Structure 1
């Protein structure tokens, strides 16, 4: 099976390509320097030339705060770019997997969002990701939409790396405690996506490591696993204002994975432990 992966230079795209190669699949990873997904003609020509059996679309404009002011660029990547890739997939009858986000929901309440709950994004980034979801469903028959949250991986910037970097110069940190969700290790997620793309079990899925926590609880676990003596001061969202509103409820139900025979990801605590071990033993 030949799979084209966008966003190869990011955390998830990188791990998806690596795992696909380990599984003996033909993986082609592209970053923004290799392919401008906002250029329809270029996308069409490139995809026809590669002629993949499937496209896993990990590339996205993910700067949540900047998106509130840089709306045109965010829309072009997340909506137009997705449309260009989906149309190219349709033209060659390839499967299409779109990586989405918990930000498509309104973040209210404390009940996990189900796969078929009506999205209602709070910010512009979430809006563009939801518009991307709609494009995929309108254009294609053979599609997967996989919503993920709180991503961390070896290749790129993330909350874990930020916390460990802060710990190098400080002995305490303020972290929000009233936003609840599930961290997602791209190493674990990549395995699920590669398994999924080889099936025809199409539809919307939620995928993250098992269990829920707040950002402050996540930080505490990071320092615990890294054997770092660091005080975490739990603060409210209101005490840490950001340009874009953050969802307080990022819990997502993952029943669809189980119903379709996919193995749920390990717990977020287990994922954090393995990730920090990988970080500290990383050879590049």
Structure 2
């Protein structure tokens, strides 16, 4: 199968391209410089002029706090841009793979969220991702809609990288312990995505690394692996007021992915250790 990756310069996009290359799939990598997904005419022309069977959309507006003021741009990219892709993919009789977020949920559930739970986003970013979901489900003929959480990878800034940077600048860190989800390594997510495509079992999925933790627990694991000798202090979200409200517990239930693929992704601690080894310790 021939694959077209949009948003190919981001941390997930780069790992998708690497995974395709590793498996021998012909892949075309498009980024915002070569394909503006908010321009429908350009999207349609690009898809008609390049060979592909599967379009994996990694293009996204991910500035959660900035989206509170810049919400029109967030809606344009995460919502209307996805609509453009869905319509153009349909015209070419292709398959669309699109990623959404745990931030479509409000975090008030007392158990992991399943694909059957109704979304209720707390912030503009979550609203924009939900809009994209709705366009995919309403307009796409064949699609994989994949919700993820706390994504981290080697090729961009993320929470794990920030913890490493903070630890180099200070011997005392305060990290919130009242936000809980599942860290998800882009290298593992990319491989699972290709396996899911191969299953041809279209629909909505949750894909994260196994297990869950608080931001504090994740940071503690990172610092233990690094051998950091400073002090890490538990803090509450109220001590770090941000423009966008975050869900307190947005753990995703991966049962649909487990049924389709026959396996669970590695645990988040294992994924974190591999990330640190590949990016900082090798």
Q: TM-score, normalised to structure 2's length?
A: 0.98
- Aligned partners of 1:268, 1:98: CA distance in 2, in Å? 22
| Post-superposition CA distance 1:63-98 (Å, at most 9, x none) | 000001001111110111101111111001111111
Segments of 4+ moved more than 2 angstroms: none
Per the alignment, residue 116 of structure 2 pairs with: 116
- Length, aligned pairs only: 282
Cα shift at 1:250: 1.2
Q: Which residue of 1 aligns with 2:155?
A: 155
SS state at 1:260 partner = helix
Please identify, of 240-249 and 229-238, the stretch whose mean Cα deviation from structure 2 is larger. 229-238
Equivalent-residue separation in structure 2 for 1:119 and 1:129 (angstroms): 10
| 3-state SS, counterpart of residue 210 of structure 2 | coil
> What SS class does the counterpart of residue 189 from structure 1 fall into?
helix
Compute the displacement of 1:230 (Å).
Answer: 2.6
Rounded Cα–Cα distance in structure 2 between residues aligned with 1:110 and 1:213 = 15
Q: Does the CA-based 8 Å contact 2:199-2:260 persist in structure 1?
A: no
Name 1:41's counterpart in structure 2. Answer: 41
Q: Which residue of 2 aligns with 1:29?
A: 29
Matched, 1:54 2:54: yes
Please tell me whether the aligned partners of residues 110 and 251 of structure 1 are also in contact (alpha carbons under 8 angstroms). no
The equivalences for 1:1-284 within 5 A come to 1-281=1-281
Structure 2 Cα separation of the partners of residues 225 and 177 of structure 1: 19
CA distance in 2, matches of 1:200, 1:131: 24
Shift of 1:29: 1.4
CA-to-aligned-CA distance 1:85-137 (integer Å, 9 cap, x gap):
11111001111111000001111133110012111111111111111111011
Structure 2, unaligned runs of 5 or more: none
Structure 1 residue 238, shift from structure 2 partner:
1.1
In 1, Cα distance between equivalents of 2:281 and 2:231: 25
Query: Aligned partners of 2:245 and 2:6: how far apart in 1?
Result: 27
- Does the CA contact (< 8 Å) of 2:8 and 2:30 recur in 1? yes
CA RMSD between the two structures:
1.0
Q: Could you tell me how far 1:281 is from its partner in structure 2?
A: 4.8
Assess if the C-alpha contact under 8 Å between 1:116 and 1:204 holds in 2: no
**SS of equivalent residue, structure 2 residue 199:** coil
- In the aligned structure 2, how far is the partner of 1:115 from the partner of 1:179? 21
Listed as ranges, the gaps of 5+ residues in structure 1 are: none
**What TM-score comes out, normalization by structure 1 length?**
0.97
The question of whether the paired residues in 2 share the 8 Å contact of 1:51 and 1:92 is answered with no
